[in-house]
Amino acid sequence: MSYVFEPAAQAAVPVQGRAEQFPVHRIYCVGRNYVEHAQEMGFTGREPPFFFLKPADAVVPVAQGDTGSVAYPSLTRNLHHEIELVVAIGTGGRNIKAADAQKHIFGYAVGLDMTRRDLQGEMKKQGRPWCIGKAFEQSAPIGPIVPAADAGDVTQAEIWLQVNGEDRQRSNVSKLIWNIGETIEHLSAAWDLQPGDLIFTGTPEGVAAVNVGDTLMGSVGGLGTLSVKIAPAE
Ligand code: MN
């Protein structure tokens, strides 16, 4: 096969304990999946799950023990952090039942759904797509993917984020409105899940702005710590 220009490099995330990387196909994100975050955004938390996507090349893989760098994005004056449990799909499927979801999961990671909150808010108000608020360059920093067998019980894991050493978000994955199996059931009714898909499962309350020079550090249970510094706009 030849192309009219060199295809872009495959987006990929390291896998803990393995030499092979996890090739990213799509990034699905669940909106408002913790009650107290839904409430802080002005909703009840009782609505059915809904989804948006980020491009695969929005990932910024950060090795365990490293501090990644994310450039402050253009156009926004209100860049928000959202710490999330990320589910990595290893076996695709459609119409997957929640009870069968586990066998489709390759592993888990800690991720940040970085958000241009001012632009997202403007798009919401106008009934327009969220892409400009959610799906920009470097909007998905992520730690190494931990294979499911090594991840422990992520369903009861503490999830937290600190900015410059101070607590911003702290909750527990058990507080998800739609749990991992239910999320996969809903997602796979709408899209054919594929190996390489990542699912950002939603963020707990406490989302807030970050500025150039801030260091974000977050974790989910036994999945390690994700550390990112906000760099000046490129
Ligand atoms: Mn989110």
| CA 33 to centroid of ligand 1, rounded, Å | 8
Contact 164, 214 (CB under 8 A): yes
Task: Determine the Cα–Cα distance for residues 65 and 68; give it in Å rounded to an integer.
Answer: 10
DSSP string, 112-131: E--EEHHHHHHHHHHT--SH
| CA 4 to centroid of ligand 1, rounded, Å | 36
Domain positions in the chain are: 12-231
**pTM of structure:** 0.97
Contact 229, 68 (CB under 8 A): yes
Element (H, E) at 142: strand 140-142
Q: Tell me, what's the pLDDT at 43?
A: 86
| CA 232 to centroid of ligand 1, rounded, Å | 23
Q: Tell me, what's the pLDDT at 146?
A: 98
Q: Tell me, what's the pLDDT at 157?
A: 98
| CA 210 to centroid of ligand 1, rounded, Å | 15
| CA 178 to centroid of ligand 1, rounded, Å | 13
Count of CB atoms within 10 A of residue 190's CB? 12
Q: Which residues of the chain have a pLDDT value below 70?
A: none
pLDDT tens per residue across span 74-105: 999 999 999 999 999 999 999 999 999 999 99
Q: Tell me, what's the pLDDT at 104?
A: 98
Non-local (6+) Cβ contacts of 85 within 8 A are 108, 110, 111, 154, 157, 159, 173, 180, 201, 220, 223
| CA 45 to centroid of ligand 1, rounded, Å | 14
Q: Which CATH number fits domain 12-231: 3.90.850.10, 3.40.30.10, 3.40.50.300, 1.20.1070.10?
A: 3.90.850.10
